[in-house]
Amino acid sequence: MGKAADGGQEAAATLPPVSLLRAGAGILAQALAVREVYENVFTAPTWEEPHGAGDAFLDRLARDTERPGFDAVLAVDGTRVLGFATTWITPDPFPAGRCYPQVAAMLGSRRARKWLCGGREVDELAVHSEARGRGIGAALLAAAAAPAADGRCWLLTSARATAAVGFYRRLGWRQATHPAPGGAGAVVFLNPAHPAVRSRELR
């Protein structure tokens, strides 16, 4: 749920343009390229998933494409996949598996249901290390959040991933949970268009 890796810097003028493709379940046709990006990002320091984690991710991705509202966006430069984002609709009632109980405990069950259920959930956001600093992460995140009903989009990331936390803050996403500094907790972010942000219910 909600990992990110991109420097968030502006693209250099001399670099070729990157295209965003809304792939949906068709992301599975790019499985090898997506696995390469995933392993490049999430076996690196901060995330430190084991080598070979890309295969486990592809197995999970195949199941995730069956989730209601599943969508995926690819960032491509010619034929090379440089990054991707995956999203789906958070079901109601609020799920009990994966990291969802932790989210409900942090927000409270009422807010978790009101703010998150029926909203678009960003599960994975990854940009290859060789493509950082081109604004690809920001573009992927904006495209991933664009179809969100009533503007509701959210994600979860690790408090230890300080670069990711800073990246979301710079893009105007609002932090809804605040683990202890230096802790290993999780951070929930709501997108700038989220009703709880616009109405200032989230302070």
CATH of the domain at 53: 3.40.630.30
Distance linking the first and last C-alpha atoms of the chain: 23
In the prediction, which pLDDT does 37 show?
Answer: 98
Flag whether 1 is in a domain.
Answer: no
Flag whether 62 is in a domain.
Answer: yes
Flag whether 5 is in a domain.
Answer: no
Taking each helix axis from N to C terminus, what angle separates 31-42 and 53-64, rounded to the nearest 10 degrees?
120
Q: What range defines the domain where residue 164 resides?
A: 19-198
Helix (H) / strand (E) element for 174: namely: strand 174-175
Flag whether 9 is in a domain.
Answer: no
Question: Token pair for residue 28?
Answer: 């599975």
Flag whether 14 is in a domain.
Answer: no
Question: Token pair for residue 88?
Answer: 């789906």
In the prediction, which pLDDT does 182 show?
Answer: 63
In the prediction, which pLDDT does 131 show?
Answer: 96
Segment 100-137, tens digit of pLDDT: 999 999 999 999 999 999 999 999 999 999 999 999 99
Which residues touch 55 (CB under 8 Å, ≥6 apart)?
A: 35
Alpha carbons 54 and 33: distance in angstroms, whole number: 10
Flag whether 96 is in a domain.
Answer: yes
Alpha carbons 18 and 36: distance in angstroms, whole number: 18
Per the structure, how many domains does the chain have?
Answer: 1
In the prediction, which pLDDT does 179 show?
Answer: 83
Segment 21-30, tens digit of pLDDT: 999 999 999 9
Flag whether 7 is in a domain.
Answer: no
In the prediction, which pLDDT does 4 show?
Answer: 57
What is the block-wise mean pLDDT of the chain (203 residues), using blocks of 10 residues? 52 68 97 97 93 95 97 96 98 93 94 97 97 95 94 94 94 91 82 96 89
Flag whether 45 is in a domain.
Answer: yes
